[in-house]
Amino acid sequence: MAVAIALHIDGMTCGLCAKHVRQALEEVPGVRSASVSYPQRQAAVEANLGATVDLTSLIAAVSALGYRAQLAETLGQPSDLLNKAQERLGGEAKCEGNEAALHVAVIGSGGAAMAAALKAIEQGARVTLIERSTLGGTCVNVGCVPSKIMIRAAHIAHMRRTSPFDGGIAAASPRILREHLLAQQQGRVDQLRFAKYEGILASTPAITVLRGDARFKNAHTLIVATADGDTREVSFDRCLIATGASPATPPIPGLKDTPFWTSTEALVSDTVPERLAVIGSSVVAVELAQAFARLGSKVTILARRTLFVREDPAIGDAVTNVFRTEGIEVLDHTQASQVAFVEGEFVLTTESGQLCADRLLVAIGRTPNTRSLNLGAAGVVVNARDAITIDHTMRTTAPHIYAAGDCTDQPQFVYVAAAAGTRAAINMTGGDAALDLTAMPAVVFTDPQVATVGYSEADAHEAGIETDSRTLALENVPRALVNFDTRGFIKLVVEAATGRLIGVQTVASEAGELIQTAAVAIRARMTARELADQLFPYLTMVEGLKIAAQTFTRDVKLLSCCAG
């Protein structure tokens, strides 16, 4: 004959939670079997007659997974045994007539972390946010914000030096005062960091900020080496890992012994080097290469294959042509086999000979900041790139630990990170939210800009989708014509069987402004014909989407300039 113990369990969000709780309870000594109901938030534990099953051990087993348990008959009443168990686990005791707020630990303070922390307190949780460095993470401090300011300044310098209207507006070679530009840039960074991070945290009492370096002690506890040299333990009900990523360094012999730049150092340099070599061929490499070139550097890019090799080949070709026209040297299929720093200059050895530069920027991608977290102690799995593996709800392989942002296997964009952080907080507090990335727009802030959303032709074919596509040259877009800037194209990819739009790739001066319309069209499952029938304001770049859609059924060269 067995003795049954009934438990009430809070915090389960799905049937998988119930399965994990059942398995944990059945591992407690003396337990014969357990059954768990997620909808009823109940567990029934059977112990063999004569066996001693410690209630504290049952509660501890559930709490170790991030859920909260108490005897069913004590629900809503204070329990000395329950309080003692939670105190031993580092959690909060129940208050008379109230349930302690769910405690969420957030590691990091960037876009994903802040979005999650704010949503979690909105959902009634209390949050401990742990940051080892500057509040705000990569985007506002050393990423999106300072880079776009620098790129904009470089664009202004370029337009003063040369434009399609030089025949009627006298051009002038601008004097670049980099130290003044840097002061302006950092001033705006400081302003935004305070407004969007420091100020919000200081005025939100439900979020406790702990400055220090966190690592997991076990699946339910963090050890934080604080900034003052002390060590603290932080127990949690749920945890979000949002530690971001750092610039990657390739294993080129000699490189680590040189004072090379990553994007971090390049963005805070108060000088513009006379000669700049760039190793890399994707977003950060090309954005900063063009910015420095327009501020006065002689720039050479070493691309292991071609620019934007993972995108539609037309994108890399278009950007390469623009760069070469501007005097940027693009060396395709070129790698450095050795790097040295000799008498104040960098010497790069390649298969084509030696390349010398005053500065070297290495921008080959970013590596997730996960190695110091001791993730194994918490049962959190990473992939071969050290990125945390998560599901569509942002849950890791540990059921009560979530992750979001650049430290995960999701695309490394701050808007993806913020969206993931918000959804993770909803799920940590009992909700059910997923992140759908099927129509995720992406923008590269070169001039002209690069923007993509959905499938490229190659991606679609790899997924087994038969496609039809059209590419529209920008001399067919009135906005580009009146700008006297027809560099680039708009390409639409449709599903052949249905005509439904599934992807857009574009290189254009305002590509970043038009790509969201394409994303909405894909999300709405519009066909190319339906897109072509929409009203678009005349003399806008986004009108190019309509014209590109019209090319599936007619010759747009035979249409009037604003034909519907």
Q: Any idea which residues carry the catalytic annotation?
A: 12, 14, 17, 67, 139, 144, 561-562
| Phi, psi (degrees; rounded to nearest 5) at 310 | -85, -5
Phi-psi region of 385 (alpha: psi -120 to 50; beta: other; left: phi over 0): alpha
Q: Report yes or no: 368 and 243 within 8 Å, Cβ to Cβ.
A: yes
Kindly write down the DSSP assignment for every residue of 491-548, as one continuous string: EEEEETTT-BEEEEEEEETTHHHHHHHHHHHHHTT-BHHHHHTS---TT-TTHHHHHH
The residues near 292 (Cβ < 8 Å, ≥ 6 apart) are: 154, 266, 272, 273, 276, 299, 361
Q: Report yes or no: 422 and 119 within 8 Å, Cβ to Cβ.
A: yes
Of 324, 266, 265, the C-alpha closest to 300 is 324
The CA–CA distances, whole Å, from 141 to 34, 134, 166, 282 equal 50, 8, 37, 21
Secondary structure of 66-105 as H, E, C letters: CCEEEEHHHCCCCCHHHHHHHHHHCCCCCECCECCCCEEE
Phi-psi region of 249 (alpha: psi -120 to 50; beta: other; left: phi over 0): beta
Q: Report yes or no: 439 and 454 within 8 Å, Cβ to Cβ.
A: yes
229 C-beta neighbours (distance < 10 Å), count: 7
49 C-beta neighbours (distance < 10 Å), count: 9
What is the separation, in whole angstroms, between the first and last Cα of the chain? 81
